[in-house]
Amino acid sequence: MTEEFIPCDLISSPPISKPGGTVNSGGSRDQDLDQPIFSVFSGGVKQRQVGEDTAAMTSPTETTTDAESGIFSVGGELCAEHESELDWFCGTDQKSICSQCFTAGSCRGHSVTPLAARVAAVRNQLVDVCEKIQLQALRIEKFIDQTLTVKEQKLQTAANRARDQVLAQVNAAREALEEEEQRLLEEVQREEERVEQCLLTQRAHWNQALASLSQTRSSLVHTLTHMPDTQLVMTVQDIAERVEEAEGVGEPCDTEQLNLNPACSESKLLRGLWATAVLLGPNAYGSSHLKFDERTVSPLLSLSDDFCTLTFLHKKARQSVAYDPARFDCWPNALGLLSMSSGTHSWAVDVGQSAAFKVGVCYASLERKGSGNEARLGFNSQSWVLSHYDGVYSFCHEGRNVPLQIVKRPQKIGLLLDWPSQTLMFYELDSSTILYSITHRFDAPLLPACAVTDRSITILH
């Protein structure tokens, strides 16, 4: 193998004595090996390729003579200045020199090393690097053959387990949903048949009543128009009986029995799945620009500059505000700037550490003035709210409170209004746990409604 090196300073050699000056001799191999792997040539060692391909380096286990390797075959290379053999290496200028160059020439006083020692040191370092490269290659092969192979096997096992888990959960949900679907459809069918039977019975009854009334009326009209007066006065009793019979038919009236019961299609499972799909699905609804209507904010509250935070004011901090027919003047209420009469809407309120608040919806026609229940959220027929007061959570409507069993105090409460299904839902934002849900026939547009009497609450975006 023939190699040619551009000399460079790889080691720091201790000084040796030479005639005409003090120079450095080649260092020991142990000193060279103190340098980090792959950094031994960072001082500028460059290997030039002879031919088109780089020849394979000598194995650390093989012994090759200098004559065989050609490392010391520097004969014929002479110093251009002194025409002497280049048998020294200048570490300062990083070049091969002759003995006269460092004794009296341009490299006088520089750090020099015998070329043979320099080449031996480089060779030893190359051997060490090759050994380390070989060890690193073995580690890489071991990593590929063992670690990556095992990882690939574990990956397949974990992926199959994950797929099985997904399929099992989806199948369980599908089976439960299919069973619930079948149950609800059967319930709706039974309710439909019941109402149809009621309608048929009512239709038959009132058709018969109508025919009876028509016959009675025709008989009375005939008596009135054709019977002589002397006979007419004699049929008063008969006429009274016919009138009594007609009055006994009664007045028709609509009843709930003639309507389909909405409860026949209600299902906690179906509602929970639907709510989860809406709240967590890729097309989750949201009202990202919802703010409080400044005109409605009670003088008991302050509104932040971004119109999203309501803060309860103590008496000393309250200030008189201009009269506005839309403003609540006694109760600490405020309404949102979002009128909802179609589609699906959701928004969230950060209730933080507030110990007294209400969040919900109300009709725009809700009373704003006075201290009566007409303007108090949850105490009239025009508002539906979730209330928290003194550690107790409840749903309030028309003055009736439904206590809620809430284990963990929610920091953020979400509201979901689905107008097509007439469903209002309160849920805990972080876990999507449903706190309360109702189905009600809303007959007018709804507005977000809030109240607070402790600290503050904030609309989240």
pLDDT in tens, 139-183: 999 999 999 999 999 999 999 999 999 999 999 989 999 999 999
What is the three-class DSSP state of 240?
Answer: helix
Q: Are strands 15-18 and 21-24 parallel, antiparallel or unpaired?
A: antiparallel
Average pLDDT over residues 418-445: 91
Q: What is the pLDDT of residue 315?
A: 85
User: For 68-102, what is each residue's pLDDT tens digit?
Assistant: 333 344 445 899 888 889 999 999 999 999 998 98
Give the percent of the chain with pLDDT over 90: 56
Q: What is the pLDDT of residue 288?
A: 67
Q: Which of 281-285, 338-342, 427-431 has the lowest mean pLDDT?
A: 281-285
Most confident region among 57-71, 305-319, 376-390 by mean pLDDT: 376-390
Q: What is the pLDDT of residue 8?
A: 40
Flag whether pLDDT at 7 surpasses 60: no
The two three-digit tokens of residue 126, written as one number:
């190359």
Flag whether pLDDT at 328 surpasses 60: yes
Mean pLDDT of the chain: 82
For 364, half-sphere exposure in the C-beta direction (CA atoms, 13 angstrom radius) is 12
Higher-confidence residue of 223 and 334: namely 334
Flag whether pLDDT at 37 surpasses 80: no
Average pLDDT over residues 447-460: 96
Q: What is the pLDDT of residue 120?
A: 92
Contact between 381 and 398 (Cβ < 8 Å): yes
Average pLDDT over residues 267-293: 79
Give the percent of the chain with pLDDT over 70: 82
Which runs of E-coded beta strand occur in 262-327? 301-303, 309-312
Q: What is the pLDDT of residue 287?
A: 66
**Long-range contacts, stretch 400-403, CB < 8 angstroms, 24+ apart:** 402/436
Q: What is the pLDDT of residue 234?
A: 78
Confidence of residue 398 (pLDDT cuts 50, 70, 90): very high
Q: Can you tell me the distance from the alpha carbon of 384 to that of 446, in angstroms, rounded to the nearest whole number?
A: 10
Q: Which of 68-82, 262-276, 336-350, 372-386 has the lowest mean pLDDT?
A: 68-82
Q: Can you tell me the distance from the alpha carbon of 72 to that of 190, in angstroms, rounded to the nearest whole number?
A: 105
Q: What is the pLDDT of residue 164?
A: 96
Q: What is the pLDDT of residue 236?
A: 83
Contact between 96 and 110 (Cβ < 8 Å): no
Confidence of residue 243 (pLDDT cuts 50, 70, 90): confident
DSSP 203-270: HHHHHHHHHHHHHHHHHHHHHHHHS-HHHHGGGHHHHHHHHHHHHTT------GGGS--GGGG--HHH
Average pLDDT over residues 256-270: 87
